[in-house]
A and B are shown apart, each in its own frame.
Chain A
Amino acid sequence: MGQYFAKRLLYLFGVLIVVSVITFFIMHQVPGGPFSREKQLSPTALANLNAKYHLDDPLYKQYLDYMIDLLIPTITTGEKTFSVTDNYLINFDIPGSEDTAFRWINFGPSYRSQTRSVNDIIREQLPVSAKLGAASLLIAMVIGIPLGTMAALKKNTVYDYFSMSTAILGVSVPVIILGPLLKYILAVELGWLPTQGWGEFKHLVMPAFALGFAQSALLARLTRASLLQVLNEDYIRTARAKGLRQRQVVIVHAMKNAMIPVATVIGPLFAALITGTFVTERVFGIPGMGSYFVTSIQNRDYSVIMGTTLVFAFFIVIANFIVDLTYAWLDPRIRLS
């Protein structure tokens, strides 16, 4: 088991390295740059900016410098500086020493913001997205899995049709329509909730619902399909033949197995949701990290592209790892290799 964990950790590291290499080189191939804009910069100003951020170095050197800053921990003594290029995600004073600090993981400065580092973005915006993502996933699961279970157990009844219609509705109405509609009715016309903002529970309600509803549809449909399949498995019939009551059969035996495909989808979904969603954040004015996935690419803000991609990759790999652990738990026949 310990060996398994060590192996997976190594894989995690490997995936991150590969993702960083591909992203870094592709992003530099894409035309444009962090300082390219409609109103052209004078060549002198552009050269100065490129020099300031070492964008005039050869690509391989830029990559190595970036990875060194990112991965190699440093121990600093003396006063902390306020430079955006010298900002670390993990930053604590070594106990027992006067002013010696352990500092690790530096994603670099944002070229667009100039006075802000990517670490600041991760520190301040990621928790916002994580909170919204977790809330919407919870809503999706709380609505979706029972709906799907109900539909499967009462196949081809009114309950089935109702839950499936809800699911289709949820999945066909994009957030870009559902969001503004909800907002117009609940906030502008009725005045029950604020249209935008962040920080209190009332700010969370609409976006979490809008986001969760679409995902719940997916989970409901998947749960139904998967459960129907499992209910036909031999061992379930055996269990029934043994005289276990229907409900017990479902909960104890079937649900566990039926959750395998559901877990498969929830894993990456979770990673995607907690790192933020562009449309929902923009519609409801939520200061999450999702916007950066798109704007950093539009702005060619190289360090932000790298930062958001690596953070997302990290969560994806972790989530998929947890999914694999869940498989083993849900279905003991699957061994961890």
Chain B
Amino acid sequence: MRKSHKGFVFALVLVVALLLSSTSLITAQETKVLRTAYLPGDVIIDPALGTWMNEIQLVNMMYIGLTTLHETTVEIQPGFATDWSVSDDGLVYTFNLLHDVPWVRYDMGAGEVVQVTDENGNVRVVTAHDFVYGINRTLDPDTGSQYAPTLARWVVGGMEMLAGEDVELGVAALDDYTLEIRTPRPAGYLGMIYGMWMSRPHPQWAIEEYGDAWTEAGNIETYGPYTVKSWEHDVQITITKNPFWPGTDYVPPAIIDDFEFVYLEDPAMLAAFEAGELDWIPTVPLPDLDRMRVEYPDELRITSDICTYYYGFNTIIEPTDNVHMRRALSMAIDRATVVAISNGGQIPAGFFTRPDVAPGLKQEDYPDMAIWSDPEGAKAELALYFEETGTTLEDLPPITLMHNTSAAHAIIAQAVQQMWKETLGIEVQITSQDAQVFNETLRRDAPAVYRAGWCYDYPDASSFIGDVYRSVGPDSNNHTNWGPQEFFDLLDEAAVETDTAVRRDLYAQAEGWLVNEAAAIAPIYYYTTQQMTQTYVDRTYDAARLEKLNTWDINR
């Protein structure tokens, strides 16, 4: 009786709502909301300022780059540019842009996404001029963009502008829908760099009106499949579907209406997921994986990541200044066991550069170049060390293994400590440092062995070995103090080589030099991503971890 009564009231409400506004009823009925979480740490969604995964993911959904990456192969494909051409000398890139894509913002008062209009009431559409403004703003030293140098090196006048000089950039709008970028040097992967988040168009009028507050909900203007609906800093951010994004073959229009991101630590995320409060969690605490594998086999999915875990050696302090010692330490690391302890399906690494980035360097294809776990080989190398230095185990100077503080790093360090003790008889001391102190320590005087990790910015070896080990010194990311000029030359040659097979050989040669012959670093494993998604979510997994949220759907 009560039930039917309720039903009657509900029907009445429906009818009234229908009379008032038919459109709002339909959206209310069909609203699909996906609830998810980010690790604590508020995002920055200014495309010029974003630096980490969560931020780039949101930026990618709101500002489509000139080029995008294929979801599984991470190969370059069209984005906001429908096609592009490169001059014969490789110095001029000409992009043809999508037509009539409007700038939009979320109107808080109206509760819906609206098109942005100019002072004359005309809809503002994304043009090549917005790209020119965006790139200029990124490279403006006052903007303080952390990724500006990655772009500046590849735009004529970029480095000068970033250094505060008054120069004209090599970026021009040939007409409203044709963008030209000129580079001082050619390289095969520039199409990717011009598609990165710091190379996107910015809404000049909004930035001039709102200043620093231009990315706040209600102010921010975007054009991609999603835009910001609400944003309480450090609490939650919600993005909502932009109905005005026309959709292309490569970037289809959004299906799910809203994505709600709350900020939670990963154990809290997992609890919320288990309680059914979240539909997707982008990370799972590693210690819980065993239980997840049996309790949520359909929800859990382990996919590739974009980072490599490795140990670096300081090659100018004893005893790691000796190549035999470094090779002994590296070969004595039982990578399969480390992976088993880490328990997240990570892949033992024989090279620094991941195999899933261009040009596709696989350790199996270059067995003589890669470094392999080999206890006997390690012992032989140690014997060579003692022979060369005329010392014995007792004379060995103390070795410190330092990592930035984290439970996971501590576990791996202790496992490796044990391996070195058992295989080589070498006792090392583990020390951990607060992350920032650790960074500074590496710059100034790195310990004999230090933990490190690297994630690519764009999926190419030039963003791996070609970025980290192209230089040496306190201002670089190479803290090994190792880096002969011939090695740098080899990397430069590989960077601009256009034939993929030749390029792969060149990088294999460089990797072999770095991780095997000189053993300046000991690659340990390639990271994986552990995610849990409720089974009613119809989703894809992006190999570069920048999920294409616009292609997801919910089927309850």
Residues of A within 8 A of B (CB): 30-33, 35-45, 48-49, 51-53, 81-85, 109, 112-116, 120-121, 124-125, 180, 183-184, 187-188, 191, 194-198, 282-285, 287, 291, 295, 298-300
Contact = CB atoms under 8 A, between A and B. Distances in A.
Contact of A115 (B147, B212, B271, B434): B212
B453 A38 contact: yes
A39 B476 CA distance: 9
6 contacts: A30-B436, A32-B435, A39-B455, A48-B141, A114-B144, A298-B436
Contacts of A49: 144, 146
Given A51-B141, A124-B233, A196-B262, A30 B268 contact: no
Contacts of A116: 42, 233
A32 B146 contact: no
A120 B214 CA distance: 16
Contacts of B277: 194-197
B149 A287 contact: no
Contact of A31 (B145, B162, B272, B437): B437
Closest 9 CB pairs of A and B: A32-B436, A82-B213, A31-B440, A42-B149, A48-B141, A287-B235, A82-B211, A195-B271, A49-B144
B434 A298 contact: yes
B211 A31 contact: no
Contacts, number: 155
Contacts of A125: 234
B441 A44 contact: no
B268 A114 contact: no
B275 A187 contact: yes
Contacts of B233: 113, 116, 120-121, 124
B393 interface: no
Contacts of A197: 262, 277
B145 to A, nearest CB: 7
Contacts of B377: none
B215 interface: yes
B477 interface: yes
Contacts of A120: 233
Contacts of B499: none
Interface residues of B, number: 58
Contacts of A114: 44, 46, 49, 144, 212
A203 B402 CA distance: 40
B165 to A, nearest CB: 11
B434 A282 contact: no
Contacts of B437: 30-32
Nearest to A117: B212
A113 B439 CA distance: 21
A124 B232 contact: yes
B440 A43 contact: no
Interface string B525-550: 00000000000000000000000000
Contact of A45 (B149, B214, B264, B455): B149
Interface in B422-464: 434-437, 439-441, 443, 452-455
A279 B49 CA distance: 30
B142 interface: yes
B221 to A, nearest CB: 15
B10 interface: no
A37 B52 CA distance: 12
A180 B436 CA distance: 29
B439 A83 contact: no
Nearest to A110: B42
Given A44-B159, A195-B268, A196-B272, A282 B40 contact: yes
Contacts of B212: 82-85, 109, 114-115
Interface in B6-44: 40-42, 44
Contacts of B46: 114-115
B491 to A, nearest CB: 17
B164 to A, nearest CB: 8
B265 A48 contact: no
B197 interface: no
Contacts of B214: 82
A52 B144 contact: yes
B319 to A, nearest CB: 26
B210 interface: yes
Nearest to B453: A38
B369 interface: no
B436 A300 contact: yes
Nearest to A116: B233
B260 to A, nearest CB: 11
B162 A191 contact: no
B380 interface: no
A116 B234 CA distance: 10
Contacts of B443: 40
B265 A282 contact: yes
B324 to A, nearest CB: 29
Contacts of A188: 271, 274-275
B435 A298 contact: yes
Interface string B83-124: 000000000000000000000000000000000000000000
A206 to B, nearest CB: 11
Contacts of B211: 81-83
Nearest to A282: B265
B146 A195 contact: no
B287 interface: no
Contacts of A187: 271, 275
